[in-house]
């Protein structure tokens, strides 16, 4: 696509692995080997009538993908109280279920980029990172799901497990300040509500799925550090690995409470 006029580019403050810019009512992101699969998914979702995902508009004159901008608040950490509300969690899981229902049996082009998803089958297209920081909220209601770079085939429960980890949340007390959570939150009551809204007979797999996902995330971080060499902020890396290790310990120690919540 050709640029029309000169519009100001505004960099988003909370980018993770890529720098993202807003240009007018569009978002510009760099592309990669995974992009054809992501673009095919977004086009499919648009044609299927999914109102929650951004629309793919093409490639700009700098080679970046152009997506529609979804108005609202992204649940970046530490999250505001509205994003930590039960309604935010409930509306977010409804969106995740909608994505799964629309993509049951869908096959995408080769090249999805998620190295963390286990090879467990292809019931649906999983988002791969269904966490508050990839949802858009209006007040306490989730209204959109963004950043499909990790999307690819998988099982519903694979996405649900990571969603539960982030939204219940199933993390150690030491991790609470990172998300803005308060120590009095009813983690297991919230977990039960997730699986009331989106039942799955494999919910008892949750502890092992979460622990395995966090282990894969730690390995991925350490591999990137090793590849980057000198100059990497080792303190920040160690903090992230420490967080995931503590959360693994928490999940392992609360297997009984998790099982009771999802029965």
pLDDT one-digit tens code per residue, 12-63 = 866 555 679 999 999 999 998 889 999 999 999 999 999 999 999 999 999 9
Task: Give burial (CB, 10 Å; 0-12/13-18/19+) of 149.
Answer: buried
To the question of pTM greater than 0.85 for the whole model, the response is: yes
The first and second tokens of residue 117, run together, are 């998803």
Task: Give burial (CB, 10 Å; 0-12/13-18/19+) of 88.
Answer: buried
Residues 204 and 218: their CA atoms lie apart, in Å, by 23
Judge whether 82 and 149 are in contact, CB under 8 Å.
no
pLDDT one-digit tens code per residue, 211-260 = 999 999 999 888 877 776 656 566 667 788 999 999 999 999 999 999 99
Given this model, what pLDDT does residue 190 score? Answer: 98
The first and second tokens of residue 7, run together, are 């519009």
Question: At how many degrees (to 10) do helices 86-103 and 35-47 cross?
Answer: 100
Sheet holding 135-138, edge to edge: 73-74, 135-138, 141-145
Average pLDDT score, the chain: 89
Judge whether 127 and 99 are in contact, CB under 8 Å.
yes
Judge whether 157 and 201 are in contact, CB under 8 Å.
no
Task: Enumerate residues 6+ apart whose C-beta is below 8 A from 86.
Answer: 190, 193
Task: Enumerate residues 6+ apart whose C-beta is below 8 A from 260.
Answer: 188
Largest CA distance in the chain: 59
pLDDT one-digit tens code per residue, 177-219 = 888 898 889 999 999 999 999 999 999 999 999 999 999 999 9
User: Which residues, listed in sequence order, are joined to residue 145 by a DSSP beta bridge?
Assistant: 135
Judge whether 164 and 258 are in contact, CB under 8 Å.
no
pLDDT one-digit tens code per residue, 72-96 = 999 999 999 999 999 999 999 999 9
Residues 219 and 192: their CA atoms lie apart, in Å, by 30
- Strands (E) in 146-245, as ranges, are 152-154
Q: Which helix (H) or strand (E) holds 255?
A: helix 255-262
Rounded-to-10 torsion of CA 54, 60, 62, 66: 0
The first and second tokens of residue 145, run together, are 């799901």
């Amino acid at each position: 696509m050709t640029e029309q006029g000169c519009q100001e580019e505004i960099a988003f403050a909370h980018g993770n692995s890529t720098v993202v810019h807003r240009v007018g009512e569009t978002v510009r992101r760099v592309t990669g080997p995974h992009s054809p699969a992501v673009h095919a998914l977004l086009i499919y979702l648009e044609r299927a009538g999914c109102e929650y995902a951004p629309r793919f508009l093409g490639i700009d004159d700098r080679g970046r993908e152009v997506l529609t901008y979804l108005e609202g608040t992204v649940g970046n950490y530490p999250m505001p109280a509205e994003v930590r509300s039960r309604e935010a969690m409930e509306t977010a899981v409804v969106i995740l279920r909608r994505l799964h229902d629309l993509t049951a049996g869908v096959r995408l082009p080769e090249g999805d980029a998620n190295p963390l998803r286990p090879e467990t089958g292809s019931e649906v297209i999983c988002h791969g990172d269904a966490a508050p920081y990839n949802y858009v909220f209006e007040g306490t209601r989730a209204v959109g799901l963004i950043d499909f770079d990790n999307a690819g085939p998988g099982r519903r429960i694979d996405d649900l497990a990571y969603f539960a980890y982030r939204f219940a949340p199933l993390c150690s007390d030491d991790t609470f300040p990172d998300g803005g959570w308060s120590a009095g939150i009813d983690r297991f009551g919230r977990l039960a509500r997730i699986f009331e809204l989106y039942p799955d007979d494999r919910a008892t797999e949750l502890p092992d799925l979460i622990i395995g996902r966090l282990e894969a995330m730690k390995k991925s971080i350490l591999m990137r550090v090793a590849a980057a060499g000198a100059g990497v902020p080792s303190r920040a890396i160690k903090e992230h690995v420490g967080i995931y290790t503590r959360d693994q310990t928490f999940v392992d120690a609360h297997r009984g409470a998790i099982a009771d919540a999802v029965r």
